[in-house]
Structure 1
């Protein structure tokens, strides 16, 4: 399975915002420079994270973004589910495009369903706070300290 860059970047935005000092705003330009992501693409990700209620955006010259919830309340599995549009590991996962002749007797699909469930079980056990428990080190790497 391969997560989209969109999901990866969304998680990075959350980690960046969560690494800022309490109440400090992050801005699109600094996130773009740290992660080498176009500001235009970042704008779409920020919009989606805001729509999901994970970050709040403050407009204006001194504006920016910050987490809308405490890091301990942001579940990583939920973020990944919200950012990805499907988890069709094989064509048989999508009833509309399943043309495999093996589907009626295939055990691979069941095994992959179990693997996907295990994947999310692990992600569901993490919060953004868990990803930020080395905040000082992250701040240095992102030029925030």
Structure 2
């Protein structure tokens, strides 16, 4: 399974904000820290705000911060919220399930095994909070001066 860049950037944004809980951060700052397009990040920030994962403060002294403590943000919730489709194969994808052309349905054992694997993957993410993945090394890396060639 591979998560989309959208989800990757959403998780990175949350990690950045968790590393800086004492202040508001800007979209530009996050984009520069990870080498992400600001335009793409704006869409992600908007969606994370709609989901209550972050809070956006408008105005001259505005910025971004976590919408709730990092201990209360489960990675599984973020992944489910940002991924459009978690099905590992076409027949598992909800949007296409009604029109599935698989001749083995509904007795396919492969689908069952892949479903179990996906459940195990999500279970690990459900047991992991944002606070669990933010280390002092991450904080230091985000606050180190950029490396110039």
TM-score norm. by structure 1 comes to 0.92
Structure 1 segments, 4+ long, off by >6 Å, are none
Q: Deviations over 1:50-90 (max 9, x none)?
A: 00011111112221100110111001101100001111211
Task: Report the number of matched residues.
Answer: 142
Alignment of 1:122-141 (within 5 A): 122-132=124-134, 134=135, 136-141=136-141
- In structure 2, relative to structure 1, the CA distance for the partners of 1:139 and 1:102 (3 Å cut) is same
Q: What residue number does 2:75 align with?
A: 76
- Structure 2: distance between partners of 1:26 and 1:80: 22
Q: Determine whether 1:110 maps to 2:109.
A: no
Q: Determine whether 1:11 maps to 2:11.
A: yes
Q: What residue number does 2:58 align with?
A: 59
Alignment of 1:22-33 (within 5 A): 22=22, 24-33=23-32
- Structure 1: distance between partners of 2:138 and 2:107: 48
Using the TM superposition, name which of 53-62 and 96-105 deviates more: 96-105
- Structure 2: distance between partners of 1:109 and 1:115: 10
Alignment gaps of 5+ in structure 1: none
Report the Cα offset of residue 101 of structure 1: 1.5
Q: Aligned-residue CA RMSD in angstroms?
A: 1.5
Q: Deviations over 1:96-130 (max 9, x none)?
A: 34112222432000001100110111111100110
- Structure 2: distance between partners of 1:124 and 1:7: 15
Secondary structure of the corresponding residue to residue 123 of structure 1: helix
Q: What residue number does 2:89 align with?
A: 90
Q: What residue number does 1:20 align with?
A: 20
TM-score norm. by structure 2 comes to 0.89
